[in-house]
């Protein structure tokens, strides 16, 4: 796990909310604090879907909503002249990207990875991107965490997002 402090808030916010930059992620949860606070739970709501859709992995491939589906809602809540006082987005890399991302990780470690995640938060000190790996069992090997940390640093660099490692 590493924490990266984003240097250019405007460019990062534009990439996060107005582009496809994070469309390879799912939204677990979001909290945006403005005059009112918006809480979004990214878990898909079973009652919303027909039984056929809910059970069909082609129609409902993920447990969470995609960031591309939810980003407009978040952008619409934030847009205006006054910036949020705080926010936090918890994102997971889509499962179909796990194998490629973890291709250099030993198979036993890769099998234990539940999710590769990001916590993106805004507070008084700026925007921070914190990486994390959720495991479904204890594994002493930390190669998945190291690969994920490097992957996110390369990702941000490729998107021309300047950051400091904290």
Query: CB of 129 within 8 A of CB of 117?
Result: no
Share of the chain above pLDDT 70, in %: 100
The enclosing H or E element of 17 equals helix 9-18
Alpha-carbon gap, residue 81 to 13, rounded angstroms: 14
pLDDT at 40: 95
* Mean pLDDT computed over every residue of the chain: 94
> What confidence category does residue 83 fall into, taking pLDDT thresholds of 50, 70 and 90?
confident
**Rounded CA separation 52/76 (Å):** 32
Range with lowest mean pLDDT among 39-43, 56-60, 68-72, 107-111: 56-60
pLDDT of residue 81: 83
Residue 156 pLDDT level (bands cut at 50, 70, 90) = very high
| Predicted local distance difference test score (pLDDT) of residue 149 | 97
Give the pLDDT mean for 142-153.
96
Domain boundaries, the chain: 3-160
Percent of the chain scored above 90 by pLDDT? 84
User: What pLDDT digit, counting tens, does each position of 84-101 carry?
Assistant: 999 999 999 999 999 999
Joined tokens for residue 43 = 């878990």
SS3 (DSSP) at 85? coil
Q: How are beta strands 126-135 and 113-123 bridged, if at all?
A: antiparallel
Residue 61: per-residue pLDDT: 87
Average pLDDT over residues 158-166: 94
Parallel, antiparallel or unpaired: strands 126-135 and 86-93: unpaired
What pLDDT was estimated at residue 135? 96
pLDDT above 90: residue 53: no
């Amino acid at each position: 796990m590493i924490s990266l402090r984003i240097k250019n808030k405007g460019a990062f916010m534009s990439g996060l909310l107005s582009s496809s930059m994070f469309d390879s992620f799912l939204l677990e949860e979001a909290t945006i604090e403005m005059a009112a606070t918006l809480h979004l739970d990214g878990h898909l709501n079973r009652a919303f879907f027909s039984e056929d859709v809910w059970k069909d992995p082609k129609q409902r491939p993920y447990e969470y909503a995609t960031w591309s589906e939810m980003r407009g809602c978040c952008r619409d809540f934030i847009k205006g002249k006054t910036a949020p006082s705080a926010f936090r987005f918890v994102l997971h890399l889509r499962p179909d990207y796990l194998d490629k991302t973890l291709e250099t990780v030993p198979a036993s470690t890769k099998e234990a990875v539940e999710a590769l995640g990001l916590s993106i938060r805004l507070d008084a000190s700026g925007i921070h991107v914190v990486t994390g790996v959720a495991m479904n069992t204890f594994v002493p090997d930390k190669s998945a965490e190291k690969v994920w940390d490097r992957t996110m640093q390369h990702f941000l660099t490729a998107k021309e997002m300047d950051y400091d490692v904290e």
